[in-house]
Structure 1
Amino acid sequence: MLSLRLHKTVFVFFINTLLFSWCNSFAFAQEELNVSDSNETFEKNGICYRTLNQSEVEVVMSPRTAYSGTLKIPASIKYNGKNYVVSAIGDYAFSGCDSLKEINLPHSVRQFGEGAFWKTPQLKRINIDKGKTRLFTENGILYKGTTLITAYNPDLNCVVKAGTSTIASYALCGNNSELLSVVLPESVDTILASAFQEQTSLDTIILSDNVKFIGDRAFQGCSLLRNIRIPDQVRHIGYFCFYDCTGLRNVHLGKNVEEIGEGVFYDCISLRAIYCHCPTPPSMLHIENGVFYFSNESETIEVYIPKNSETKYRNSCDWKEFHLTFSATIK
């Protein structure tokens, strides 16, 4: 057993650390769109569009009024005498549309921007027009091929479809305040930025051994989450990944974790034990705020490490700053 007593340094937590990450550190695979440098935004029949090139447009956020009720998006539109295919839903296109209840998507849509359905608590139906498409819905979840785009009306104990490989950014982020658990299939290997952010009722999630990537702020604000196991294939844990997970008590770090991002366990005030299966101490990023910050400096965290790793951890600058005291090792 390795006992770790944290003596925190008081510092100001600037407001910019509370902002959401607007960019993914890892882009999920999707069909490429030929985007022009000169884009024009316009409105037609209550829907705002932005030109992507000479033949395609994307739906974008309305600058005047939030979309509400039932929204039917056409497969194509005519603007300034030219026909355009509606091929994408832009970044945050429906974000904050509190009264949006139903969306009809055309089969022509093949790309979704980050956070397109974020904060749409009343959205209960997504319909896909007939035609050749990789889009489909199942049990209140929208998929594009093997990517989970958004869980707009899932079961409280959500089971993700077998064969799914990627959980998109903001896919299960705060839309469903009563979501209790999520079961991910063995096929999931990528969890993108903010995928589960602010899912405040989520208390159970099991990550399969095939997960290789966990993005920034992926579980930020999941305040009821008690335990998490980082799979062995994960090498980097995205910054602020578990920030404000105030109920988190136990963390298992897989044996191949090499780097822990800035603020990963920031404000995890209930954290009691870290089971670090890494023979080599993971490095910690300290860009501005460091990895740990606790409101109670008298708390003791038990850290368990592999056999024969004591010297490495004792000599690690990243771990020494937390005044490590060794008493035994993990088997």
Structure 2
Amino acid sequence: MKKYVRYLLVLLMCGSLTGVKAQKTFQVDGINYYLDGSEARVSDNRDYSGSKIIIPNSVLYDGKNYPVTSIADSAFYGNWRLIEVTIPNSVTNIGNYAFHNCSDLTAITIPNSVTTIGDYAFHNCSGLTTVTIPNAVTNIENHAFQGCTGLTTVTIPNSVTNIERYAF
């Protein structure tokens, strides 16, 4: 009996130490999301088959509307099919590697609500020709636009006070 109790205690301790958190994941109009508290985040869409995406301001899940506030790390990583992405004003964060290696991406609309563009967010998006950094951004992270060999116009507002290494 002691052996079983010890075993059960070890299992319980391992579960609590790992910090495993169940996430509710779901799909709306072919785009994958997960819930983070009262907000929805665009999640793993590496296999999204469309070429154009318009991310909505909010999504309906289980009878409740959730604002879309973030594009998660690696959300569209390596999705070569993407050509155009429109991000809504509800999004404040574009995660690390969010569009990394989306080589055919030619148009991205980044709204003024975005305050953070993560490391490698648009790294190797060689199809991008024009980028306008929103006024709310103060820092352009490491390698954010490195390898965007097609860029001919970049607009950086006065709000940007720091450009990390290899950002372009």
Report 1:277-292 matches (<5 A).
Answer: 278-286=157-165, 290-292=166-168
Partner Cα distance (1:183, 1:245) in 2: 18
Separation in 1, partners of 2:83, 2:90: 21
Q: Deviations over 1:64-90 (max 9, x none)?
A: xxxxxxxxxxxxxxxxxxxxxxxx8xx
Q: Specify whether residues 179 and 258 from structure 1 end up closer, same or farther in structure 2 by C-alpha distance, changes over 3 A only.
A: same
| Residue 126 of structure 2 corresponds to residue 255 of structure 1 | no
8 Å CA contact 2:69–2:92 kept in 1: the answer is yes
Question: Per the alignment, in what secondary structure is the counterpart of residue 142 of structure 2?
Answer: coil
Render the CA deviation track for 1:177-212: whole Å, top value 9, x for unaligned.
Answer: x42111211122111100011110100110111210
- Does the CA-based 8 Å contact 1:243-1:268 persist in structure 2? yes
Name the structure 2 match of 1:319: none
TM-score by length of 1: 0.39
CA-CA distance at 1:250 after TM superposition? 0.6
- Larger Rg, first or second structure (1 or 2): 1
- Residue of structure 2 equivalent to 1:111: 22
User: Residue 143 of structure 1: CA displacement?
Assistant: 5.4
Q: For the structure 1 residues 222 and 236, does the alpha-carbon distance in structure 2 shift closer, same or farther, using more than 3 Å as the test?
A: same
What does residue 179 of structure 1 align with? Answer: 50
Structure 1 pair 239–141 and aligned structure 2 pair: CA distance change class (3 A): closer
CA contact (8 A) 1:250 1:273 kept: yes
Distance 1:248 1:262 in 2: 18
Q: Deviations over 1:11-30 (max 9, x none)?
A: xxxxxxxxxxxxxxxxxxxx
Q: What is residue 42 of structure 2 aligned with on the other side?
A: 167
CA contact (8 A) 2:32 2:42 kept: no
The count of residues paired between Structure 1 and Structure 2 equals 145
Shift of 1:234: 1.8
Match of 2:64 in 1: none
Q: CA RMSD in A?
A: 2.7
Letter in 2 for 1:204: E
- Note the residue ranges of structure 2 that are not aligned, 5 or more in a row: 1-10, 59-67
Say which structure is richer in helix: 2
8 Å contact kept, 1:261–1:284: yes
**TM-score, normalising length: structure 2:** 0.73
1:213 maps to 2:93 = yes
CA contact (8 A) 2:140 2:160 kept: no
Query: Residues 225 and 135 from structure 1, CA distance in 2 versus in 1: closer, same or farther, beyond 3 angstroms?
Result: closer
Tell me what 1:7 maps to. Answer: none
Alignment partners' CA distance in 1, 2:55 and 2:120: 22
Q: Structure 2: how far apart are the matches of 1:135 and 1:229?
A: 25
- Give the counterpart letter for 1:207 in structure 2: I
Q: Pick one of 54, 70, 81 that aligns with 1:201.
A: 81
Deviation at 1:279, TM superposition (A): 2.6
After superposition, the C-alpha distances for 1:10-58 in whole angstroms (9 at most, x for unaligned) are xxxxxxxxxxxxxxxxxxxxxxxxx9553xxxxxxxxxxxxx36xxxxx
Q: Deviations over 1:214-240 (max 9, x none)?
A: 110100011111122322122221001
Which AA in structure 1 matches 2:167? V
Mapped pair 1:242 → 2:115: no
Unaligned runs of 5+ in 1: 1-34, 39-51, 54-87, 89-109, 113-133, 148-163, 293-331
Task: Check the 8 A contact 2:118/2:144 in 1, yes or no.
Answer: yes
Match of 1:267 in 2: 147
Letter in 2 for 1:185: P
Verify the 8 A CA contact 2:73 2:96 in the aligned structure 1.
yes
